[in-house]
Every structure is written in structure tokens, then in C-alpha cells.
């Protein structure tokens, strides 16, 4: 652990920080999720201050490096080949390495410290495409940025190659609870997702994994999803909390958008049960007004996706984001201040 983290741990001990637990039960998480809002926010903000004294927010940029024709049938996703006629999404082959690195440089100049690259694959296959992704990771790291990928399922060998290339984090969301999962995805099992997370962790790469609310799940489903995350040992370093963006042509196009306070509750609960994690306010943020976004930061969010697009859906205006961060008195994280760059030791 770095000297900075050692000092932060000492600060936590004198500011009432709780022990890090990996034995959470779904019932107690549901109780937290449903607790009176003011009590929930107070508890979340207290822990947030204990574990994140520097009051920083990370700006992460997300680029779709290969778009559409995914064989998965995720009911929320316009990139699924199952709904290509209905969504009329423009499909794009894997981008050239040079073009991806140009996008990374632009994101870096705009203030992003993490560059995330997403490809619409069920699983990455060895060959030229994977070799290109490896070069992209090396190039992003050479810029001094954190590099994150979401490429679908991985083998142990592939996770090892990504680790050797310097990958900071791998995004692989659980989406929802194991009980509700088959209502959303049938082409991949919940255990498949857990197996990939285990391989990524075993390679020494940090985990970026969370889920989506607003797909028709119950509050217990939300608590169960958080329980799965909070019983991983160690906890994921990044936990993106997404609100469904209903896309015309997908099976979930008619879902009623979740109320902003439901997103706030999820962020606060994630902060309480995984206090060291970076909680990322992700998809659905564009539908929030300024006050709702500020409440999400107060609840414990300390990272946002920054830029005009989240893979295939629109995102907030960058100038508005910078103004909001300034108004909230937050500090934009610099690469030197990144905690996640110190990757955990590989677990057997």
C-alpha cells in the first residue's frame, strides 16, 4: 500500500470508519436501502468522508471501439443482434488502434483520467482483434491514463495478457440479481459473469462491476445484486450504478424511468456496504437535473462518465459537468492521485 493510502487509513481510524465486511446478508442490505432517506444519506456521507477525504471525483471517458451485432440478447441493449431491425443501430467494425488513441488523447485534454474501451462481443477471441485491443491498452497507459476494457467473457490466459499490457480495470457488470437475471439475459448465465470476474481478479486487474435498475426488478433484486458485489473479497474497486435508458426497439423500451431518488438510494447503499469502492454515477445521469446529480454526489458517488456518449447513448454536456463539479466544490482527480492504479495482488 502506498504512503498516501497508509495515511488515509490512519485518518479513517480516527473518523469513525467501519470495518470492511464481506459477509453482508440481502435482508440487512434491503433494510439499509429502504431506510429513511435522511438517515440513509447521513450514514452514506459520513462513511464517504471517512474513506474519501480528498473529496475528488474521477472523470472517465467511454468509447465504443466495436459497435453492434452482439450475439447476446440483453433486453436493454440496442447493440444486440437480436433487435438490430427494430433499433436500426449503425454497426461498426473494430476501430484502428491509432484512431482509438486519438480519442484517448482528446479525452485526456478534456480532463478524463480513465479511458474505457467497450466492444460488443459475447467473448473476446484470440487473434488479430485481441492483439489490437492489447495495443490499445498499452497506448492508453503510455499516455498516463488508466485503461479499462469491457469485452465480454475472458479466459484466464486472456486476462493475463491484458494484465501484462497494463490494464487498470475490467468492466463486467452483473446487471441485476441472480434471481431476476434470466428475465433480462438468456444467452449467458449469471455464473458466467462471476467466472469472468474471478479470472480478472486472479490476473491482478481491478474490478469495475455494478448493475442497472429500472428493468422491472424488485427492491429485493436490487439488494441481492449489491449483496453479490459486497461479498466479493476484496470488494470491487469500481461500482457503476446505472439507471435504465429505455431504447426504442429493445424489449425494455416501454419501461417507466426510475425516480431519481431510487438512484440516490442505490448509490448511498453501495457506499455504505462498500465504503472503499469508487461508486460511479453512470447511465441515466442525463435524465437527472442538477439538484438530483448533486444529491448523488452527496450520497457517495465519486466518479462519472464524461463525454458526449456512453457507447451508443447520449451523455451530459461536458461544460455542464465541469460547472456542476465546480459548484459542488469537488476536485477533479489527477492521474497521480489515482488509487486504483495500485492494482491488488492476484488471488488464487
The C-alpha angle with vertex 278 and arms to 276 and 283, in degrees rounded to 5, equals 150
Whether omega for the bond prior to residue 234 falls within 30 degrees of 0, making it cis, is yes
Q: Which of 188, 224, 280, 339 is catalytic?
A: 280
Catalytic pick among 70, 188, 285, 339:
70
Check residue 343 and report its DSSP letter. Answer: P
Bridge partner residues of 304 (DSSP): 59, 281
> What's the pLDDT score for residue 219?
97
pTM score of the predicted model: 0.85
The percentage of the chain sitting over the pLDDT mark of 90, rounded to a whole number, equals 57
Query: What is the chain's mean pLDDT, rounded?
Result: 85
Query: Is 70 annotated in the active site?
Result: yes
- In the chain, the percentage of residues whose pLDDT exceeds 70 is 88
| Whether 208 is catalytic | yes
Sequence spans of domains, the chain: 24-335
Q: Which of 12, 43, 74, 222 is catalytic?
A: 74
Q: Is the pLDDT of residue 320 over 90?
A: no
Max Cα distance, the chain (Å):
58
Between 231 and 314, the more confident residue is 231
Instruction: State the DSSP string of 229-249.
Output: HHTSSSPPSEEEEEE----TT
Q: What is residue 168's predicted lDDT score, i.e. its pLDDT?
A: 95
As a whole number of angstroms, the distance between CA 348 and CA 342 comes to: 19
- What confidence tens digit (pLDDT) does each residue in 218-270 have? 999 999 999 999 999 999 999 999 999 889 999 999 999 999 999 999 999 99
pLDDT at 343 over 70: no
Known active-site residue 149: no
Q: Which of 43, 114, 141, 148 is catalytic?
A: 148
In angstroms, the first-to-last Cα distance of the chain is 20
Concerning whether 280 is annotated as a catalytic residue, the answer is yes
Interacting residues of 18 by C-beta distance below 8 A, sequence separation 6+: 47, 275
12 is catalytic: no
Q: Using an 8 Å Cβ cutoff, are 331 and 59 in contact?
A: no
Determine the CATH number of domain 24-335: 3.20.20.70
Q: Is 276 a catalytic residue?
A: no
Task: Indicate which residue of 77, 149, 222, 339 is catalytic.
Answer: 77
Tell me if residue 77 is catalytic. yes
Catalytic residue among 116, 161, 188, 265: 116
Nearest of 169, 173, 238 to residue 201 by alpha carbon: 169
Contact (CB, 8 A) for 148 and 171: yes
Alpha-carbon distances, residue 75 vs 54, 91, 182, 198 (angstroms): 39, 18, 10, 25
Q: What is the pLDDT of residues 154-179, one digit of tens each?
A: 999 999 999 999 999 999 999 999 99
- Cα–Cα distances in Å, from 242 out to 157, 176, 227, 246, 342? 30, 11, 16, 12, 26
* Active-site residue identified among 12, 208, 271, 278: 208
**Which of 54-68, 108-122, 254-268 has the highest average model confidence (pLDDT)?**
254-268
3-state secondary structure 249-292: CCCCCCCCCCCHHHHHHHHHHHHHHCCCCEEEECCCHHHCCHHH
CA-angle at 266, arms to 60 and 197, nearest 5°: 60
Top-ranked range on mean pLDDT: pick from 11-20, 47-56, 140-149: 140-149
Count of CA atoms in the C-beta half-sphere (13 A) of 25: 3
| Chain segment 172-211, per-residue pLDDT in tens | 999 999 999 999 999 999 999 999 999 999 999 999 999 9
Amino acid at each position: 500500500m502506498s504512503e498516501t493510502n497508509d495515511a488515509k487509513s490512519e485518518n479513517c481510524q480516527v473518523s469513525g470508519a467501519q470495518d470492511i465486511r464481506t459477509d453482508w446478508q440481502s435482508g440487512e442490505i434491503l433494510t439499509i436501502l429502504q431506510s429513511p432517506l435522511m438517515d440513509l444519506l447521513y450514514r452514506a456521507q459520513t462513511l464517504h468522508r471517512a474513506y474519501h477525504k480528498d473529496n475528488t471525483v474521477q472523470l472517465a471517458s467511454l468509447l465504443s471501439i466495436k459497435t453492434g451485432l452482439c450475439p447476446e440478447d440483453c433486453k436493454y441493449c440496442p447493440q444486440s443482434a437480436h433487435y438490430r431491425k427494430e433499433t436500426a443501430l449503425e454497426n461498426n467494425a473494430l476501430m484502428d488502434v491509432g484512431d482509438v488513441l486519438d480519442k484517448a488523447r482528446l479525452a485526456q485534454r478534456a480532463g478524463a483520467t480513465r479511458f474505457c474501451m467497450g466492444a460488443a462481443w459475447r467473448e473476446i477471441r484470440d487473434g488479430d482483434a485481441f492483439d489490437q485491443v492489447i495495443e490499445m491498452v498499452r497506448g492508453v497507459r503510455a499516455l498516463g491514463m488508466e485503461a479499462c476494457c469491457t469485452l465480454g467473457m475472458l479466459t484466464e490466459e486472456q486476462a493475463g495478457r491484458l494484465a501484462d499490457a497494463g490494464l487498470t480495470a475490467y468492466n463486467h457488470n452483473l446487471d441485476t440479481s441472480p434471481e431476476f437475471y434470466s428475465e433480462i439475459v438468456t444467452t449467458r448465465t449469471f455464473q458466467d459473469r462471476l467466472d469472468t470476474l474471478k479470472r480478472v481478479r486472479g490476473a491482478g486487474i481491478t474490478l469495475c462491476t455494478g448493475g442497472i435498475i429500472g428493468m422491472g426488478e424488485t427492491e429485493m433484486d436490487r439488494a441481492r445484486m449489491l449483496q453479490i458485489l459486497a461479498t466479493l473479497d476484496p470488494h470491487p474497486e469500481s461500482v457503476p450504478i446505472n439507471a435504465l435508458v429505455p431504447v426504442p426497439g429493445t424489449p425494455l423500451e416501454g419501461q417507466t424511468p426510475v425516480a431519481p431518488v431510487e438512484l440516490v438510494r442505490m448509490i448511498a447503499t453501495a457506499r455504505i456496504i462498500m465504503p472503499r469502492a469508487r461508486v460511479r454515477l453512470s447511465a441515466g445521469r442525463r435524465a437527472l437535473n442538477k439538484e438530483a446529480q448533486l444529491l448523488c454526489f452527496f450520497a457517495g458517488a465519486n466518479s462519472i462518465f464524461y463525454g458526449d456518449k456512453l457507447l451508443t447513448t447520449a451523455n451530459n454536456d461536458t461544460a455542464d459537468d465541469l460547472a456542476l463539479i465546480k459548484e459542488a466544490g469537488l476536485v477533479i482527480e489527477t492521474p497521480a492521485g489515482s488509487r486504483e492504479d495500485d492494482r491488488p495482488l492476484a488471488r488464487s
